Amino acid sequence: MAGVIPPDIRDRICQTIRELIIEKIESRHSRRRTYSVFHQALFPNPLLKAWEFERTVSTALGNSFQTVAKLLAQSSGLYQHVSLQSKIAGWVSNAARATIDAVINKLRRKGMTGFRERFTDLAQKVAAAYHGNEYDHTKSSQKENRVVNGTKVEIIIDLYLRRKNGEELFFEMKSPLPNKDQCVATTEKLLLVHAIRKASHPQVQTYYAMPFNPFERAEPSGSSRASYKHSIAQKYLDLERQVLIGNEFWDLLAGPGTYRELIDLYKQVGQRIRSKVLKVIGFRGLKKQ
């Protein structure tokens, strides 16, 4: 039975993951980390090596999610344009900036529970915070018109998609275990997108995307959201309207079933490189699972 992910994209995803891990394994030999005598007294050497290896690959593996997301979105046929690290620039009126500042200040003090509105309502309020006299209509074309009572803003968004009907989707792919500052900063950036585009859902959709749920079982079943319980994110993000978790994000990119297939691909790569990884960190005698 044919899967959601095309065979050629499956191969490219596996190659991306495999090359990433192998590169980290090989680069590890060029540097040697030293541990305190207390670490060495407490823990066996293989465990210290395993910790070092996990730290080495974690950040790079997180970055690989963006590459994989782009491959999946491009192959789905659902989007007219797909790009990573996309620059979004435009004029933001003083009224929109003031609206965002008020939201962010309140968010820092009280969290999302301090708002009667949901994130999509806040985005709509920001998008509408313009007045007719804020534009310089002396320019020769609409494209040259700028906001007189405002500033030009430029931001970088992790993943940008544009559907064939013109709808735009903006994703910040972030940690599923954010701290307060990360939640607030990402919310501010997403609201700035609405201020620049002067539009809200569904024409402009912005999301805090969590590639996985760290509380989810190794063999996920059902929604990734069900078991999510990070208290900081629950307080400072609108989980229902602003956040996509695990299967919600991946299935949106390429269709239902994408998330499960993607996990299977990671498992396949893991089985192929298992012996090399175990050799590097010094474990012996582990059976294949």
| 83-93: pLDDT as tens digits | 999 999 999 99
Q: Which residues of the chain have pLDDT under 70?
A: 1-2, 27-33, 131-148, 218-222, 280-289
Own/partner pairs, 98-102, CB within 8 angstroms, 24+ separation: 98/129, 99/125, 99/126, 99/129, 99/195, 100/126, 100/188, 100/191, 100/192, 100/195
> Cα(195)–Cα(153) distance, rounded to whole angstroms?
10
The pLDDT, as a whole number, for residue 58 is 79
- 122 neighbors 206 (Cβ within 8 angstroms): no
Question: Residue 167: helix, strand or coil by DSSP?
Answer: coil
Sign of dihedral through CA atoms 93, 95, 98, 99?
negative
- 154 neighbors 86 (Cβ within 8 angstroms): no
Give the strand pairing for 168-173 and 243-245: unpaired
> Cα(91)–Cα(146) distance, rounded to whole angstroms?
6
Token pair for 201: 């859902």
Token pair for 57: 């690959």
> Cα(103)–Cα(191) distance, rounded to whole angstroms?
9
Rg of the chain over all Cα atoms, to the nearest angstrom: 22
Q: Which residue has the tokens 């005598």?
A: 37
Own/partner pairs, 276-283, CB within 8 angstroms, 24+ separation: 276/22, 276/25, 277/21, 277/25, 277/53, 280/25, 280/28, 280/49, 280/53, 281/46, 281/49, 281/50, 281/53, 282/45, 282/46, 282/49, 283/46, 283/50
The pLDDT, as a whole number, for residue 172 is 98
Give all strands (DSSP E) within 215-273, no chain letters: 243-245
The pLDDT, as a whole number, for residue 219 is 67
Question: Residue 182: helix, strand or coil by DSSP?
Answer: helix
Bridge partners of 245, per DSSP, are 210
Q: Is residue 202 reached through a cis peptide bond, with omega within 30 degrees of 0 on the bond before it?
A: yes
What is the dihedral angle through the alpha carbons of 104, 105, 110, 112, rounded to the nearest 10 degrees? -10
